[in-house]
Structure 1
């Protein structure tokens, strides 16, 4: 039997008044201690102009994470090395540290920095499927906000390899497929989600994918029909050019495309009456200028076209010499070493059929001079 003298006496709990009195006594004791400390003489040295900047760089007081490439405070650098030192951390701890960095930047909408953080975590290859899936899913989210939809889709698919039931990764994969017009894959992802849960947003995504697929198929049919129509028109054009005897490269129809900017939208074609319509250039060597005839029917004569061109006297013909009856028409041939005169009553088709005429740059070109003029004599002497 224990002696009553040895029994421990249980103290009653402190009252509120006693607690306040004790706190006041501790405050007074601390003030007295600080007051009795040896006094230091104030420094007479001026403060460094950059003291506030240095203060902000200190890891205990900094207000933001340093940017990549920015000079680090030695203490911050030391803390970083400690945090990311593979000798001090397991692969899982390292991966989680990088994930925390990515989450911090993601929260503050620094999505590019978030991508860097998650990427570093992925590089660790920690072996934990849950962490790996989370890193890929989070990086997918960062890419999504950067509108890098293909990268976002790849990361979402990688997350699903580690966790096939990762709901957020599956939803983002569906949305990315919709953005990148991978409609069949989008529908598959949506169906996987809707087989498990009802989700109005995913149902809407699936609906858009179905409609997008129908529109894409309709556009593809339209495109193929246009290609078929164009091919038929090209074949008809080739047949007419062959009948006419025009010399051109059948295997490269781009050579029929006019090289003059003023005529590039007016290449040779067949009208509704199956008449070849050509873009033609009239050059005036004496005045170093030219006219662009956008539509010269093959069955039209040079007389008819010149009358249209010279319906009004051109500003450069100050002497009024360029009258239809005074004009001669020529074309160059034999690699431009010679010229041949064309009768104004000739149709364009008759000229194009001549053995010496070779079509170049998709545009028949003709030289116009004043008959018997000194300019014409000088022009002809150059050949």
Structure 2
């Protein structure tokens, strides 16, 4: 077990050691400045590498390059700027604000947000600094088109300084961008109570017009929703009146439109609906021999199923012409888990109330098989 060494624990610096460190820092800073004079830096910080170059500068670096021990100069400067033990919360918040301002000036808005956020985390007790940090972060969000965040930060800035005009104007603009027109109008009216700014007058006018349009659209949507709900209620009522059995419904009160939404291929967009007092259903036609299906998207309940099948035959895939009205049998699978043959000359509505018929996934489904064929025999035997 290794014992503690001097390298493992840091002892507080004495006044003498602090003085020696300061003198050493001064000397190293002089040496650094002198080296700059001998080798003048003429290229500037390239746009694509400015962060990398900045991080190499002793004043801006926050971590030591390549994991080596930081030089006394770099460590001292880092402590001067970022160490909470060496700075008051107000100074530390200001330092992070300066970092944010630097990045904002160079249009690095995401890095600016990080700087302002660190300053906010300090939680200094100066309302002006906090207002400035939130306002500047709001400006960064605005440039990134993060309008919700810009509105939030602007209003947080106002909570520290209600007279912060820039924050209130940005709050109004952000609110308008995310269609919070009432909020925008409130901020504009507050600004206009202090001065008659042309930009604010125009923004207020735009917000009021858009609010009227929004309210009109909301009324339309409400009417449309109410109408849709009435139609849904009417559909459920008609299904109950006709006595159609619906899968997964214990009684009439358990029937709702969510249990009538088609979930079968090609039928999701053709839910049962009412036209002129008639229910129109999506109907699934299945061909077990070929593992193929057809979907009749709007089959009236008062029309024979035969009429729909006549539109499907002859099928393009039926090269042997085995499938036509006179040569096929049509079955449905009942809730007793058995196949039941039907008469296609009957109206669809009459088929839906046959004994053992159960509506599944809002879509009546029928099997089509060549009469007397081997595939029909196998189909029937599969239920035994």
> TM-score, normalised on structure 1?
0.78
Asked whether the 8 Å contact 1:98–1:118 carries over to 2, the reply is yes
Output the aligned Cα RMSD: 2.4
DSSP-derived class of the 2:84 partner: coil
DSSP-derived class of the 1:262 partner: coil
Q: Distance in 1 between the 2:243 and 2:85 partners?
A: 83
Asked whether the 8 Å contact 2:80–2:86 carries over to 1, the reply is yes
The Cα of 1:316 is off from its aligned counterpart by 3.0
Q: Distance in 2 between the 1:191 and 1:173 partners?
A: 12
Pair 1:284 & 2:287 matched: yes
Partner of 1:259: 263
- Unaligned segments of structure 1, at least 5 residues: 1-53
Asked whether the 8 Å contact 2:61–2:78 carries over to 1, the reply is no
1:248-283 deviation digits (Å, cap 9, x = unpaired) = 244431221111231111111111x21111111111
Partner of 2:178: 180
User: Where in structure 1 do 4 or more consecutive aligned residues deviate above 4 Å?
Assistant: 54-58, 65-73
Partner of 2:26: none
The Cα of 1:239 is off from its aligned counterpart by 2.1
Pair 1:167 & 2:168 matched: no
Q: Distance in 2 between the 1:188 and 1:55 partners?
A: 46
Pair 1:321 & 2:322 matched: yes
Indicate how the Cα distance of structure 1 residues 352 and 196 shifts in structure 2: closer, same or farther if over 3 A, else same.
same
1:58-86 deviation digits (Å, cap 9, x = unpaired) = 527x9xx6598975864434312122233
Pair 1:307 & 2:310 matched: yes
The Cα of 1:331 is off from its aligned counterpart by 0.8
Q: Distance in 1 between the 2:302 and 2:159 partners?
A: 70
Highest CA radius of gyration, 1 or 2? Answer: 1
Q: Please identify, of 103-112 and 237-246, the stretch whose mean Cα deviation from structure 2 is larger.
A: 237-246
Number of equivalenced pairs: 323
Pair 1:99 & 2:97 matched: yes
Q: Distance in 2 between the 1:254 and 1:215 partners?
A: 32
Asked whether the 8 Å contact 1:99–1:121 carries over to 2, the reply is yes
Q: Distance in 2 between the 1:176 and 1:322 partners?
A: 65
Q: Distance in 1 between the 2:187 and 2:55 partners?
A: 47
> TM-score, normalised on structure 2?
0.78
Q: Distance in 2 between the 1:300 and 1:57 partners?
A: 79
Partner of 1:25: none
The Cα of 1:55 is off from its aligned counterpart by 9.5
DSSP-derived class of the 2:266 partner: helix
Partner of 1:111: 109
Asked whether the 8 Å contact 1:287–1:316 carries over to 2, the reply is no
Pair 1:361 & 2:361 matched: yes
DSSP-derived class of the 2:223 partner: helix
